[in-house]
Amino acid sequence: MRNCSLTHQARKVFRDAGIKDDLIVRTPCAADVLYLINSGEETHESLSYFNLGTEIACLLVHQDKSRLTSTELDKILHHSAAFEAVMTIRSRLYGCEIDHGHIVVACPACQAHEKKLSLLEAALVLSAGIDSPLQENGILLREPKQATFIEHPLRPPFSGYVSRVTVCTDNGQRKRLRRVQAPELEAARSRFEVDELNPPEGKEDWVYRLPGFRAVLQLSLALTEYGTDLSEGQLQATEKLPFPDFLLLDAAFQLVFASAVDLDSASPLICTECAKPFLPAAL
């Protein structure tokens, strides 16, 4: 994980706002943040900004690991310079894996050649874009891509599509992703969704109307070999991923499995073993 510690300038800003300057940045896990994201049709500005305060409380802690007090949090939210400093460090932390992580794809013709690409390089090969995890205002988070079922996009005929992708985080973790089929996603929902009015302890957020849970469910499936292998433990492991790692996996999944492909504008990779072209995109 890239260093996203507070700068001396940020500490001065906190002192000026009447907040102790011993704050350190904590990398939140996926569950800390995902379940604070409202679905599009339920977004109310007051609720969104209340949840943002909860998110900041997960992001900053004191050096003794104690949490921000409600008074300190209120000062951050209402002191423009302190709020801007927190938003800057948050944006840098959340984008670090998307900026520095990589994907690895194998030539589908011979499987003998693997190509490692940054997400930006893969996007350039496909002539595609990578969305920011933040909304246009630069403050509120977008719904994860996998909060919506990723359907098979229409692909022009081409023999060089891959079937899987390996995602490499900046700290060396490797995760293999595959495409998720609609029936297995529906089956997983039936198995793991809980009664919102009477949820088991520890599963209060396992409700399908929450975009965070829908994203956890689809990504957990994408990380398994077969949908029937999915277990509660794997859902919990996805929830425990560092949130920047989750964002990298979400962006890589969208790029490889959902981005539009135009063969006229794409720049296929050439296998060094069999000399056949291929793309970091899946059917």
The answer to whether residue 2 scores a pLDDT higher than 60 is no
Q: What residue segments make up the domains of the chain, in order of their start?
A: 8-98, 101-282
pLDDT band at 47 (very low <50, low <70, confident <90, very high): low
Per-residue pLDDT band at 64 (split at 50, 70, 90): very high
Of 126-140, 153-167, 236-250, the least confident? 126-140
As a whole number, mean pLDDT of residues 71-75 equals 92
Confidence of residue 152 (pLDDT cuts 50, 70, 90): confident
- Specify the pTM: 0.93
Q: In this structure, are strands 23-25 and 60-62 parallel, antiparallel, or unpaired?
A: antiparallel
Q: What is the pLDDT of residue 283?
A: 82
Average pLDDT across the chain, whole number: 90
User: Are 127 and 267 contacting, i.e. CB atoms less than 8 angstroms apart?
Assistant: yes
List pLDDT tens digits, range 175-187. 999 999 999 999 9
Summarised one tens digit per residue, pLDDT across range 208-250 is 999 999 999 999 999 998 888 899 999 999 999 999 999 999 9
The rounded percent of the chain whose pLDDT value lies above 70 is 95
Shortest CA distance to 75 belongs to which of 23, 28, 29?
Answer: 23
**Tens of pLDDT, residues 77-92:** 999 999 999 999 999 9
pLDDT at 5 over 90: no
